[in-house]
Amino acid sequence: LRTLRAMATGAEIKICEAGGHGMFFPLTEVEHTWPQGVRIVLYLGALLYLFLGVNIVSDKFVAAIEVITSQKVRVRHKVTGRIVTVGVWNGTVANLSLMALGSSAPEILLSVVEATAGGFHSGELGPGTIVGSAAFNLFCIVGVCIMAVQSPESRKIKDMNVYMVTVAFSMFAYVWLVIICSVTSPDVI
Tell me the per-residue pLDDT of 131-146, one tens digit each, with 9 for 90 and over: 777 777 777 777 887 7
pLDDT attached to residue 19:
75
Residue 49 has pLDDT above 90, yes or no: yes
Using pLDDT thresholds of 50, 70 and 90, give the confidence band for residue 189.
low
Residue 178 has pLDDT above 50, yes or no: yes
Residue 69 has pLDDT above 70, yes or no: yes
pLDDT digits (tens, 9 = 90+) for 97-141: 776 777 777 777 777 888 888 787 777 777 777 777 777 777 777
Percentage of residues of the chain with pLDDT beyond 90:
5
Main-chain phi, psi angles of 188, to 5 degrees: -95, -45
- Mean pLDDT taken over the chain: 78
Kindly write down the DSSP assignment for every residue of 127-171, as one continuous string: HHHHHHHHHIIIIIHHHHHHHHS-SS-----S-HHHHHHHHHHHH
d(CA 62, CA 68): 10
Amino acid at 98: L
Using pLDDT thresholds of 50, 70 and 90, give the confidence band for residue 95.
low
d(CA 98, CA 64): 10
- Mean pLDDT along residues 41-70: 86
Between 93 and 63, where is the model more confident?
A: 63
pLDDT digits (tens, 9 = 90+) for 9-20: 556 777 767 777
Residue 174 has pLDDT above 70, yes or no: yes
- Rounded to two decimals, what is the model's pTM? 0.48
Burial class for 133, CB neighbours closer than 10 Å (0-12, 13-18, 19+) = middle
Residue 2 has pLDDT above 50, yes or no: no
Tell me how crowded residue 146 is: count the other CB atoms within 10 A of its CB: 9
How remote is the C-alpha of 51 from its chain's centroid?
A: 15
- Mean pLDDT along residues 59-82: 85
Between 177 and 92, where is the model more confident?
A: 177
- Helices and strands (H, E) in the chain, number of each type: 6, 2
Residue 160 has pLDDT above 90, yes or no: no
